[in-house]
A and B are shown apart, each in its own frame.
Chain A
Amino acid sequence: MSLVEVDGLSVSFGAVRAVEDLSLRLAKGAALGLVGESGSGKSTVAAALLGLHRGTGAEVTGTVRVAGTDVGTASEAELRALRGGTAAMVFQDPLSSLDPYYAVGDQIAEVYRAHRRVSRRAARARAVRVLDRVGIPDAARRARSRPHEFSGGMRQRALIAMALACEPELLVADEPTTALDVTVQAQILDLLHTLREETGMGLLLVTHDVGVAAESVDEVLVMRHGRAVEHGPVASVLGSPARTYTRRLLKSVPRVDVPRPRPPAGAAPGEVVLEAVGLRRVFGRGAKAFTAVDDVSVEVRRGETLGVVGESGSGKTTLGRMLVGLLEPTAGQVRRDGVAVTGVRRDVQMVFQDPVSSLNPRRSVGESVADPLRARGERDPAVRARVTELLERVGLDAAHYDRYPHEFSGGQRQRVGIARALAADPRVLVCDEPVSALDVTTQAQVVALLDELRRELGLALVFIAHDLAVVRQVSDRLAVMRAGRVVEYGPADGIYRSPRDPYTRQLLAAVPALDPSLAALRRAERREAAAR
């Protein structure tokens, strides 16, 4: 008998079919990856394994058996015993997934006591033990901390500790590393791997990131629109995909090990349009002063893309905001065409990360794009004509002028954001994580659009991102940031081919490899490095 048996599972939320006739098996101790883009139904399947759709109004048909329990017909008590006892779930966002009001250790103890008849004291001791097991330093003391006192990686470890508390046979991990930095992601994936080796528990890993799956599972099931597209051993599915969709998905995945296609010959680098000279930015005062950006000097040339890469807290966003003039530097200069400037200028515009929150939900997208034009004093019908042109330029339908942001997909919204930035006729676009909220296929399209705009309009781009692979695919030159400083700066391909700085090397080594055997090799290297 398999640990997990799913047969003909369908889940609908009202008129929406999230999962359609899905079947899968997971043997004891095996690891299966559910891979798909947003809306593919992968998280819905994960939730169904624990019967989490019960009572939500979702319509579930088909059978789901986990370790012998029929999740569909199980009583409330049986279901509670299954949840956290036999099968434990690790959620995506480790900050919001823990109760902010209670100590981390107490929360784990609460879960333990829901399954074992033990004293509070014994449950606390168990919590400390599992926290220690997942690598929380000084676990006895840190067990008394609230979640907000933990870093993102530690919170994720704490959630995994909660999952381990009752020694489950199955671990369901729903995007467990999506909110984390790449080096922390590597640590968490390594931890999951080790735990699996030691405890022999099965793993069902839900992820949008093909690389993460390649690192962690034996088998992979690719989902699209609620259906299984392809299912097989990870090496063969990723190595020689049989289905068109899988091939397209893999093609969209940005590769950190593949150089960027060369720009057409003859495109000589233009003059320097934007320059940061010894930029420094300090937040707070006195003992609380925090230097977000420290002595950063970079330059951006016309028709060129400067990639800025770094982990959270590296200062890359602060740098971007200073380049645009949204933030005044504490020291140093921003120069445009060699002249020091302050404040926001029309010819340097910004594209923001979150296309949902950076558009006003109560205004039509046309009006949002028109804002910069109206601010300049232009009037209808000229404004309308220009906005129509801009919308078409970024690949949207001009008829979308009067629609509202919620009517668009993530990728379309980001196109609106780009159109708005273009409305001011900028020479430089500073894009802060412009594609990190998007699915890989959409990501590839937006990246292609930005590249096209750069070439055709002769724009200079600053591309700020945490994703090393995406940055490689767009950048002419690269700045690697860490703790406010640029640790490596130069032609992008050179840095990716032979990184000189140890931190850059560490970053690159942490990027999940698409090839499972390479991933195993990398893991061994990381282990060795950690042992040293």
Chain B
Amino acid sequence: MSVPHGFLGFALRRALGALVTLLAISVLVYLVFYAAPGDVAQITCGPRCSPAQVQQVAQQLRLDDPLYVRYLHFLQGLFAGHDYSTGTSAEHCPAPCLGLSYQSDQQVTRLILAKLPVTASLALGAMALWLLLGVSAGVLAVWRRGRLEERVLTGITLAGWATPVFVIGLLLMVLVCGQLRWLPFPQYVPFTDDPEQWAWNLLLPWLSLALIEAAKYARLTRAAMLETLAEDHVRTFRAYGVGERAIVRRHALRGAVGPLIALNANDLGSLFGGAVLTESLFGLPGIGRELVHAVNVVDLPVVVGMVLLTGFFVVLASAVADVLYAVADRRTVLS
């Protein structure tokens, strides 16, 4: 496939736009958390800190400096890293440095990186499932439009859309692990330790997330395909004796690709910021659960780091989606 004219420029512009958005997010997040009224050093350090520790944190946060200097310092950490002195020893925090969690005595970046594989496993696996289930259900509904199958599918997807993830998750867990005992209650096993156990243990979390999401994708696929089927160019191919199967597969489904990319990027991006409910329900030590924990104990640097991370993934995903969209529909590049 050749690269359409003006495509590289488009991708470059989009990447630049994403960078600017990210900077804007970082300013906003920084302001919300660090310029809020209250004793920042005390909040950052946590309620159990001694006045001496609070004093030290205040120094590390450079609270004597004006706000913009502190922000620039924070940015510097993101791009170049920092050296911290923690009382007796010095510690290097490499870029992207999100600061230190004073409560767990860890670098925020390391903390997040430790949790990321769990969340990524959950998100990517669920995505594969929801695309498979959702798109097939949508195609089936279109193929069988006007018949009983379509109505049943529409009913199921509507019900799926209306169900909260913890209801499906709980039901699945009670049924599959409790009643039928087909699977043990899930417990996270890293992929690098044992890929098979990794997959078995993630199956239920994947399914619970995917079943809900698939409903959305089925509806989108169906709607986009029906819209395409009503278009003039489909009439052309019908009038030229092209079979209905080829029309649905080649032409109608093709029209749904763009909307699917856009929706999927959004969903995936926000999932990478942590699927709080699913992770909590299945006891997965991912970013979502860590975030809940950090909020509960008011671990400010961790919360800030995670909010930035979510922002990063959402912006990244939407930039990637725009570029993919342009590949899928070349008219985008021209306009």
Contacts and interface: CB of A to CB of B under 8 A. Distances in A.
A114 B255 contact: no
Interface residues of A, number: 30
A111 B242 contact: yes
A111 to B, nearest CB: 4
Contacts of B181: none
B246 A114 contact: yes
Interface in A49-104: 50, 52, 79-85, 88-89, 91, 93, 96-102
Interface string B306-335: 000000000000000000000011110010
Contacts of B88: none
B239 A89 contact: yes
B237 A110 contact: yes
B241 A100 contact: no
A498 to B, nearest CB: 42
B62 interface: no
A114 B329 contact: no
A138 to B, nearest CB: 16
B239 A96 contact: no
Contacts of A144: 2
A298 to B, nearest CB: 32
Contacts of B255: 101
Nearest to A163: B240
Contacts of A110: 237, 242, 246, 250
Nearest to A85: B241
Given A98-B236, A101-B255, A114-B246, 14 more contacts: A52-B238, A83-B238, A84-B242, A85-B241, A93-B232, A111-B237, A114-B240, A114-B243, A144-B2, A146-B331, A148-B330, A148-B331, A159-B236, A162-B236
A52 B239 contact: yes
A115 B239 CA distance: 12
Nearest to A147: B233
Interface string B164-202: 000000000000000000000000000000000000000
Interface residues of B, number: 23
Nearest to B254: A101
A326 to B, nearest CB: 22
Contacts of A102: 250, 254
B235 interface: yes
Contact of A84 (B235, B241, B254, B331): B241
Nearest to A111: B240
A80 B244 CA distance: 10
Contacts of B330: 146, 148
B251 interface: yes
A229 B25 CA distance: 70
A96 B246 contact: no
B232 A50 contact: no
Given A99-B251, A100-B329, A100-B331, A91 B241 contact: no
Nearest to A98: B233
A336 B242 CA distance: 59
Most chain B CB within a 10 A radius of its CB, from A80, A81, A99, A146? A99
Contacts of B240: 83-84, 88-89, 111, 114, 162
B231 interface: yes
A96 B233 contact: yes
A96 B231 contact: yes
A127 B131 CA distance: 35
A99 B236 CA distance: 9
Contact of B334 (A83, A85, A148, A159): A148
Contacts of B239: 50, 52, 83-84, 89, 91
Contact of A99 (B233, B243, B334): B233
A99 B231 CA distance: 9
B230 to A, nearest CB: 11
Nearest to B334: A148
Contacts of A100: 233, 329, 331
A83 B244 CA distance: 13
A100 B251 CA distance: 10
B209 to A, nearest CB: 30
Contacts of B235: 52, 91, 97
Contacts of A82: 241
Most chain A CB within a 10 A radius of its CB, from B236, B237, B246, B329? B236
Most chain A CB within a 10 A radius of its CB, from B231, B241, B250, B329? B241
Interface string B195-238: 00000000000000000000000000000000000011101111
A443 B254 CA distance: 41
B35 to A, nearest CB: 39
Nearest to B4: A146
A341 B254 CA distance: 51
